[in-house]
Amino acid sequence: MIIMVINSGSSSLKYQLFDMGRGAVIAKGLCERIGIDGLLNQKVPGKENINREISMPNHEVAMRVVIDSLISSEHGVLKSLQDITAVGHRVAHGGDVFTESVLITAEVLDTIRSMIPLAPLHNPAAIMGIEACSKVLGEHIPQVAVFDTAFHQTIPQYSYTYALPHELCEKHRIRRYGFHGTSHKYVASIAAEEIGVPLEQLRVITCHLGNGSSIAAVKNGKSIDTSMGFTPLEGLPMGTRSGAIDPAILPFLMLQENMDAQQIDALLNKQSGMMGMSGVSPDLRDIEEQSEKGNARAQIAIDVLCYHIKKYLGAYTFAMGGLDAIVFTAGIGENSTLIRESALAGLEGLGIVLDLERNRECADDARLISSINSRVKIFVIPTNEELVIARDTQKRI
């Protein structure tokens, strides 16, 4: 069975083809600059890569380009588009309706559409991807939506409720939703496999640290809290996002700097976080390099990030009444020896002991980085959201 996984952005479309029988990715690619000009990059093992400019005025044309590339005898891997059994889509926001992945029907699509006010950039992009697949692969191709928010729907009311007037929250559906759910769920389940104890019997903190970052408390297999909130802005400082700040800073800046809501939104989402603090770059590799050279602002940005990770570890350990494992994943979590070491420093008395040597090793698979004396197991586990989407799609069709 061949399943296609799509992650559709406003001007991009990422895809992977899974051969579920072999459990292998047989093709992957990316369309960029859709609606501007168009650029396709495709990799198929054993075939020549494609890297070329092709006009893509919209997602439907991009999808036709993708299919043509996948069935091309020179670069592709399929005989015809009928080889694709189903398509799985990453959808950012399922609101409080979708608690798990679903087969897409006209009604489901309408519900995803009704969430647009909650995810004004992301849900329209996912809808464009779904509609493009219907047009190019045919109305009857089974399509499944896998939501970033679904895993966090188990968060209890006292944890997802903001202390704002109840009526306003009801009216605008304001509450903590959380994101990166597919990733948190996947790495928590791999950690349980590595430990050899069912996830339902473990208390795990999963740290998804990338350009966007979030931490989740996974108790007995269920998310009970997470650092991102109503939007993916809350929580940790990120590449260019501020994370949690005193909300009164917003009206203060609006008055002092004569800024409007749009400017404040851009400030918090695009000019803050690691970029804003360091003045160097949103990319942690550049910030680490500058801090080694003695750049004080780069160093403080790293210190702030690690301190916030540590605070979440503490808070979530108490929220769960204890801790069995910590998992690091995504670009920073999988690759930054420094962030893992600094965030966990000084926790030895609490049974959280890193093996400094293991922490420095690199590997493509899950690896244990805690010392044998550590009561809490610490892992680096590469995330694989596409694989979860492919598996969920197979389950739902």
Q: What is the dihedral of CA 124, 129, 133, 136, to 10 degrees?
A: 100
> Which of the residues 31 through 50 are near ligand ADP (CB under 6 A)?
none
* Stretch in the footprint of ligand ADP (CB under 6 A) among 47-55, 114-122, 252-260, 331-339: 331-339
Three-class secondary structure of residue 31 per DSSP: strand
Residue 38 or 212 with smaller CB distance to ligand ADP: 212
**Interacting positions 203-222 with ligand ADP (CB under 6 A):** 210-212
| Nearer Cβ to ligand ADP (71/304) | 304
Please identify, among the stretches 154-162, 221-229, 309-317, 324-332, the one whose residues bind ligand ADP according to the rule CB under 6 A.
Answer: 324-332
Residue 189 tokens read as: 């389940």
SS (H, E, C) 189-237: HHHHHHHCCCHHHCEEEEEEECCCEEEEEEECCEEEEECCCCCCCCCCC
- The first and second tokens of residue 180, run together, are 């990166």
The residues that bridge with 5 in the sheet, in sequence order, are 16, 88
Decide if 148 is catalytic.
yes
239 in contact with ligand ADP (CB under 6 A): yes
Find where tokens 């780069």 sit.
298
Task: Give how far Cα 263 sits from Cα of 74, 260, 268, Å.
Answer: 48, 5, 9
At residue 240, the 3 state secondary structure works out as coil
CB-nearer residue toward ligand ADP: 65 or 205: 205
Q: Which of 31, 216, 306, 330 is the binder for ligand ADP (CB under 6 A)?
A: 330
By CB under 6 A, the count of residues binding ligand ADP is 13
d(CA 328, CA 206): 6
- Pick the catalytic residue from 37, 148, 303, 324: 148
**Residues 269-308, interacting with ligand ADP (CB under 6 A):** 283-285, 288
CB of 201 to ligand ADP, least distance (A): 29
State which of residues 34, 191, 207, 332 lies at the interface with ligand ADP (CB under 6 A).
332
Q: Which residues contact 292 (CB under 8 A, 6 or more apart)?
A: none
360 binds ligand ADP (CB under 6 A): no
As a dihedral over the C-alpha atoms of residue 331, residue 337, residue 340, residue 345, rounded to 10 degrees, the angle is -170
- Choosing from 153, 335, 359, 393, the residue that interacts with ligand ADP (CB under 6 A) is 335
Residue 175 CB, shortest distance to ligand ADP, in Å, is 23
Q: Least distance in Å: CB of 115 to ligand ADP? A: 21
Among 129, 229, 276, 331, binds ligand ADP (CB under 6 A): 331
Q: Which is nearer to ligand ADP, 72 or 342 (CB)?
A: 342
Which DSSP state fits 58? S
With 0-12 / 13-18 / 19 or more C-beta atoms within 10 angstroms meaning exposed / middle / buried, residue 45 is: exposed
Min dist. Cβ of residue 301 to ligand ADP (A): 11
Q: Whole-angstrom distance between the N-terminal and C-terminal Cα of the chain? A: 12
Residues that bind ligand ADP (CB under 6 A): 210-212, 239, 283-285, 288, 330-332, 335-336
What is the set of active-site residues?
148
